[in-house]
Copies of this chain bind each other. A is one copy, B any other.
Amino acid sequence: MNPAYRLSDFVALFGGRVLGDADTQISQIATLAHATSGQIAFLANAKYRKQLDASQASALILSEADADASTLPRIVCANPYSYFAKLSAHLNPLPACVPGIHPSAVIGRNTKISPQAEIAALVMIGDGVSIGAGSVVMAGCVIDAHASIGEHTRLYPRVTIYHHCVVGSRVILHAGAVIGADGFGIAMEEGRWLKIPQIGRAVIGDDVEIGANTTIDRGALEDTVIEEGVKMDNQIQIAHNVRVGAHTAIAGCVGIAGSTTIGQYCRIGGSAGILGHLQIADHVEIASFTLVGKSISEAGSYAGIYPFSKSDEWRSNAVHVRHLDSLVKRVKKLEKEIESIKGEKS
């Protein structure tokens, strides 16, 4: 059970103003539809406005435009969604770091582990690893030799960091993420693949979050770089020598091929793919399921989703994609014939 705060406490912390009883006690946040007594709900999307009247919330977070849309005690602010984010983080902090090394952890030689860091059970930390104050390495993680981790970073269970990789401060890595596995570098010679050693690192900037089972390969000769503030969902694959610009957000299951550079503040939809050796400008949005096959030099929204339909209809339509070239030629021929018929008549 969370401690309770008054609306006036929130306003003191995060701004905005209270309408109604500023002493209303709040201990948790919830949706309009499911909030109960002691909970605060928020309206950030007009399509939920119809839920305002029936809401059992004790208080609301509303935009200036919606300030009078309810008579419940309420905080009025510029951006209810980010206000909700901050208020929820205040009510639901991560578990505190409990400094110390669990006796079942296995620690290499010449490590620099802050006495203010928490190393949980069954963790393996290699030689020469450094871990900063306030960082938490949860159970079952493996941090290989000479990797370094900043301050106030959290590794959820079973994260792997390969040797020499760098993880910044205030980073969150979710379970099963693999940072710095070898990039996919091979050369064919006389019918056999030769492995190309991957001697670059993976370097993860400050304030990055990386989802469960996401993989960020190390670079072939230089580094793979995830700049500060990047947010990545689960099961993303980032190949060697990719650079992802600061504050870019990438949804689940995206694959980015080798040596591609993504700009800052991009947003990439789920299951999208980006081929290798491309340059994507800042502020580019890519729709889900879109394959980006060439560089994008201009900010904006791009898509390559194709329609689905009932299987019967789909079969009768999709088959023609195989014959578009001949269809275009048939149309061209018709145009010429019409021109010729019209010419004869004039």
User: Which residues in window 210-225 of A have CB below 8 A to B?
Assistant: 211-213, 215, 217, 221-222
Contact between chains at A186 and B302 (CB < 8 Å): no
A111 near B: Cβ within 8 Å? no
* Chain B positions within 8 Å of A176 at CB level: 160, 176, 178, 213, 215
Contact between chains at A273 and B273 (CB < 8 Å): no
Minimum CB distance partner of A34 in chain B: B222
Whole-angstrom CA separation of A286 from B311 in the bound complex = 9
A182 near B: Cβ within 8 Å? yes
Whole-angstrom CA separation of A175 from B322 in the bound complex = 41
Contact between chains at B275 and A273 (CB < 8 Å): no
Contact with B along A285-310 (1 / 0, CB 8 A): 11111111100000011111111111
Q: Tell me how far the C-beta of A235 lies from the nearest C-beta in chain B, rounded to whole angstroms.
A: 5
Whole-angstrom CA separation of A226 from B150 in the bound complex = 36
Contact between chains at B300 and A304 (CB < 8 Å): no
* Chain B positions within 8 Å of A110 at CB level: none
Contact between chains at B337 and A342 (CB < 8 Å): yes
* Chain B positions within 8 Å of A178 at CB level: 174-176, 212-213, 234
Minimum CB distance partner of A126 in chain B: B139
Contact between chains at B317 and A321 (CB < 8 Å): yes
Whole-angstrom CA separation of A293 from B79 in the bound complex = 28
A61 near B: Cβ within 8 Å? no
Which listed residue, B186, B213, B305, touches A291 by the CB 8 Å rule? Answer: B305
Whole-angstrom CA separation of A318 from B309 in the bound complex = 13
Contact between chains at B234 and A217 (CB < 8 Å): yes
Please list 27 pairs of residues, one from A and one from B, whose beta carbons are closer than 8 Å in the complex, sorted by A's number. A29-B199, A34-B221, A81-B187, A84-B187, A92-B199, A106-B139, A120-B124, A122-B142, A142-B157, A172-B195, A176-B215, A181-B211, A184-B211, A184-B234, A193-B247, A215-B234, A233-B239, A252-B257, A253-B255, A270-B275, A300-B311, A302-B314, A307-B318, A327-B331, A330-B335, A331-B331, A337-B342
